[in-house]
Structure 1
Amino acid sequence: MTAIALISFVVAYVLIATERIHKTKAALGGAAIVLAAGVLDSGEAFFSHDTGVDWDVILLLFGMMIIVGVLRQTGVFEYTAIWAAKRAKGSPVRIMILLTLITAVASAFLDNVTTVLLIAPVTLLVCDRLGIRPVPFLIAEVLASNIGGAATLIGDPPNIIVASRSGLTFNDFLVHMAPIVVVELAVFTLILPILFRGSFDSDPARVADVMALNEREAIQDARLLIKCGVVLFAVFTGFIGHSVLHVDPAVVALLGAGVLILISGTESEDYLSGVEWETLLFFAGLFVMVGALVKTGVVKTMAQWATDATDGNALLAVMLILVVSALLSGIIDNIPYVATMSPLVADLTKTIDNPVHADALWWSLTLGADFGGNLTAVGASANVVMLGIAARAGTPVSFWEFTRKGAVVTVITIAVAAPYLWLRYFVFS
């Protein structure tokens, strides 16, 4: 049974990493094999907390996707992008900085994939009006989305998985992740003009056209925007008050989605258009495959190897997880990586007596996976989405063009994260 679980997972992983088969098909295929072989039964696959599908993750994403699907109908994202371009006085470098900051902040409160889907088309429009190549702007935005998404529990799918496995709350992420993300964004903003030098030449006549755009015309439904704002405020209040209200974030998201559907009067094809069904199925298949590794003891063995390698040294374990997570998340999608590593880290935390040091392992995994997603064009789902949008717009981004920029940003962000982990959890704890 162990061999079946391990081979199925490795083969699916290789197929996902090489994109020979769509990642959803690979994940579901691997899940089907372990179920058909009897490695897991239906109860273990669908209802067990340790080995089954994590429905909290699936339903949280589902609820937020519906909310964003309704919000998309208002035109608020287009409004924000045009507003930013005008506030930047048509300066390409200032437009890039503003759009990346907007993307980073939005990614923290929605999710980075959704934010890229909404911001990228507007970026293409603005760049077309300015007569400049949009690829540097798209790359900068997706890099910012992966950094900004690290700030909250819902900002990046790996964070949701970590929270589910570790018991960390929405507030925990705000307290521990948001400070370092703010620092990372400040550093990222400073290096943008250098990283993308030569990409900011524009036609003064076209700049005048951009300044003539009326952002208010982008708002398609002001009343719906107000309703969305009220519901989103209530949802985020529920997230923040999770530990006091004792209501899981998944339930909060589903309640918010249900209320918004009722009060908005939006047609089902509109709000369901925001649901990424393939992503949800991918998660489900992945959880089943990882559950098989947990049941057969593969994850426990890996955790023991990690324990032996660090010899009980918590700081060494934290730094090892940070660097390895950044490298592996950049080579393969950070979602399956974190789903695989989470049970391993959970076992590793049991060997560390100091609870602060044990929690540092989780933050190390999260930072490494989120920032490591910037390393290559396939490191994070948002990267893949951006590549698809650029290709459809006739401005394709090559794997190496992205990676040349992403690798620099990853090295810098990990270099900043390492002393943060050391100082906060070992020096001043």
Structure 2
Amino acid sequence: MIVYAAVAVFIVTYGLIATERVHRVAAALGGVAAMVALGLIDAESAFFSHETGVDWDVIFLLFGMMVIVGVLKQTGLFEFLALWAVKQSGGRPARLATLLILVTAALSPILDNVTTVLLVTPVTLSVCERLGLRPMPYLISLILAANVGGTSTLIADPPNIIVASRANLTFDDFLIHSLPLCLILLVVLIGLVRVLFRHDFRGHVDLDGLIEPPASAIPDRGLLYRCLAVLALVMLAFGLHTELHLDPSLVAMLGAGAMVVVSRTRTEAFLEEVEWSTLAFFMALFVLVGGLVEVGVIGSLGTFAADLMGDNELAGVTGLMIGSAVVGGFVDNIPYTAAMVPIVEEMVAATPSSGADSPLWWALVFGADLGGNTTAVAAGANVVVLGLAAKAGHPISFWKFTRYGIVVTIVTLAVAWVYVALRYFVLAA
């Protein structure tokens, strides 16, 4: 009975989020309240459990990067990048979209994808405002690019870190096994975006009189250089966080503190850039999914996938990729991945391959990461960008994003399946 109650609460809550009849934060908090009232979760499981509670590392990573972005905004950096992007695009919308995708994909392997979209979204909004373009196609494109780029390295997406820790995968393992697929998918994504948003990318914008020299956007070069120095150190620390024994959340918080100190900006100036509603939604979402983990729903789904595999490893890979994308499209891919790793570990133990040579681990990585493009709440990058878009006066509905995200997920997942089948089964035979 308790399992059915948890599933019912989750379905109703998700239905309210999907239909947007109730604000997503109110719906998520209402779902948490219902689970508490039914005795499905308590303070211990909600706030202190790594398996079922709020992932505070993610929350403080988000908060720290929001503060950093808030300070950087005062330097004129985003306006500078906007002017530069406009100039490079030559006034062609399709070229601009490609440029933004490439910038996002280039940052994703170095930073996690949530941090990447926090940096790129303000630039995108500024570019679209200057050119009089509708921001929606460009914002959705950068979300898709961030999630695709999230497959590339160990630190590019939280699910990668979770899998790497359990499977003992190294940074180099991701460069060897995952980065080649990311590059292929990036080319596919650019082509897909041009087709999906072809009506928005028509025409040409005359740039005469619309833009000033990019350097004119920087009011204080000294402030910019100090903040860029801190940002460079933060990026370096993200890349070396394993060797430094610092969690990414601590790197973000230390970077936020250093940025505030060197900029001497007012507290109100950078705190007003923090998306409090996004943070609240994340926390409620973690608790909701944690309720499903607590009663064994997500674990049962994984066990079912393991039973389907039997002795057919390719069937296991197929089921894991599709299942991860489908389930991950409805729950955040971070707690889903955490719940799935023990199941996949058992599946791997039943096969002759192990570690980085096991296609099952990569099937989980690719399925969870690429499944993040399925719906508006499937990955952190999606939630963050949609929150920033709404705050800027350009809301993107759940279904508006999902109608494009599902197409991209199906195509990229199919390409990923072919890649895994060829690399680990056909060519390895």
TM-score (norm 1): 0.80
Residue pairs, 1:272-311, within 5 angstroms: 272-311=271-310
Query: What per-residue deviation string (whole Å, max 9, x for no partner) do you get for residues 276-295 of structure 1?
Result: 22222222223323333333
Q: Counterpart in 2 of 1:124?
A: 128
Are the aligned partners of 2:89 and 2:96 in contact in 1 as well (CA < 8 Å)? yes
Distance in 2, matches of 1:25 and 1:382, equals 20
Query: What per-residue deviation string (whole Å, max 9, x for no partner) do you get for residues 41-74 of structure 1?
Result: 4333322233332222222222222222222222
Residue pairs, 1:4-403, within 5 angstroms: 4-106=5-107, 109=111, 111=114, 113-115=117-119, 117-128=121-132, 136-151=137-152, 176-190=177-191, 192-197=193-198, 199-202=200-203, 206-210=206-210, 212-311=211-310, 313-329=312-328, 332=330, 335=332, 338-340=334-336, 342-353=338-349, 354-356=353-355, 360-375=359-374
Output the amino acid matched with 1:125: E
Query: What per-residue deviation string (whole Å, max 9, x for no partner) do you get for residues 296-355 of structure 1?
Result: 33333322212112225443222223223334555x4x52x5524530343232232143
Are the aligned partners of 2:18 and 2:399 in contact in 1 as well (CA < 8 Å)? no
Distance in 2, matches of 1:273 and 1:175, equals 41
Are the aligned partners of 1:314 and 1:352 in contact in 2 as well (CA < 8 Å)? no
Distance in 2, matches of 1:75 and 1:348, equals 47
TM-aligned CA distance change 1:372 to 1:45, over 3 Å: closer
Are the aligned partners of 1:375 and 1:410 in contact in 2 as well (CA < 8 Å)? yes
Output the amino acid matched with 2:52: T
Are the aligned partners of 1:106 and 1:115 in contact in 2 as well (CA < 8 Å)? no
| Segment of structure 1 superposing worse, 287-296 or 241-250 | 287-296
| Segment of structure 1 superposing worse, 60-69 or 173-182 | 173-182
TM-aligned CA distance change 1:325 to 1:80, over 3 Å: same
| Segment of structure 1 superposing worse, 36-45 or 400-409 | 400-409
Calculate the aligned-residue CA RMSD, in Å. Answer: 3.8
Structure 2 unaligned residues grouped into runs of 5+: none
Are the aligned partners of 1:107 and 1:115 in contact in 2 as well (CA < 8 Å)? no
Paired residue secondary structure (2:22): coil
Distance in 2, matches of 1:316 and 1:54, equals 32
Are the aligned partners of 1:286 and 1:339 in contact in 2 as well (CA < 8 Å)? no
Distance in 2, matches of 1:55 and 1:292, equals 17
TM-aligned CA distance change 1:147 to 1:18, over 3 Å: same
Paired residue secondary structure (1:209): coil
Q: CA deviation at 1:118?
A: 0.8
| Segment of structure 1 superposing worse, 396-405 or 56-65 | 396-405
TM-aligned CA distance change 1:379 to 1:32, over 3 Å: closer
| Segment of structure 1 superposing worse, 274-283 or 99-108 | 99-108
Query: What per-residue deviation string (whole Å, max 9, x for no partner) do you get for residues 216-274 of structure 1?
Result: 12224432322232222222322222332222222222212122222221222222233
Paired residue secondary structure (1:352): helix
Q: CA deviation at 1:171?
A: 7.0
Q: CA deviation at 1:361?
A: 4.2
Q: CA deviation at 1:149?
A: 4.3
Are the aligned partners of 1:56 and 1:164 in contact in 2 as well (CA < 8 Å)? no
Paired residue secondary structure (2:208): helix
Are the aligned partners of 2:93 and 2:204 in contact in 1 as well (CA < 8 Å)? no
Output the amino acid matched with 2:308: A
Distance in 2, matches of 1:399 and 1:282, equals 14
Are the aligned partners of 2:155 and 2:239 in contact in 1 as well (CA < 8 Å)? no
TM-aligned CA distance change 1:338 to 1:14, over 3 Å: farther
Are the aligned partners of 1:312 and 1:351 in contact in 2 as well (CA < 8 Å)? no
Are the aligned partners of 1:161 and 1:339 in contact in 2 as well (CA < 8 Å)? no
Q: How many residues align?
A: 421
Are the aligned partners of 1:314 and 1:358 in contact in 2 as well (CA < 8 Å)? no
Are the aligned partners of 2:234 and 2:255 in contact in 1 as well (CA < 8 Å)? yes
Paired residue secondary structure (1:213): coil
Are the aligned partners of 1:116 and 1:142 in contact in 2 as well (CA < 8 Å)? no
Query: What per-residue deviation string (whole Å, max 9, x for no partner) do you get for residues 13-52 of structure 1?
Result: 3323333323322332333333344334433332223333
Are the aligned partners of 2:70 and 2:273 in contact in 1 as well (CA < 8 Å)? yes
Output the amino acid matched with 1:15: L
Q: CA deviation at 1:392?
A: 8.7
Output the amino acid matched with 1:64: M
Q: CA deviation at 1:155?
A: 5.2
| Segment of structure 1 superposing worse, 52-61 or 169-178 | 169-178
TM-aligned CA distance change 1:376 to 1:421, over 3 Å: same
Query: What per-residue deviation string (whole Å, max 9, x for no partner) do you get for residues 384-410 of structure 1?
Result: 776787789898878877666545433
TM-score (norm 2): 0.80
Percent identity reads 46
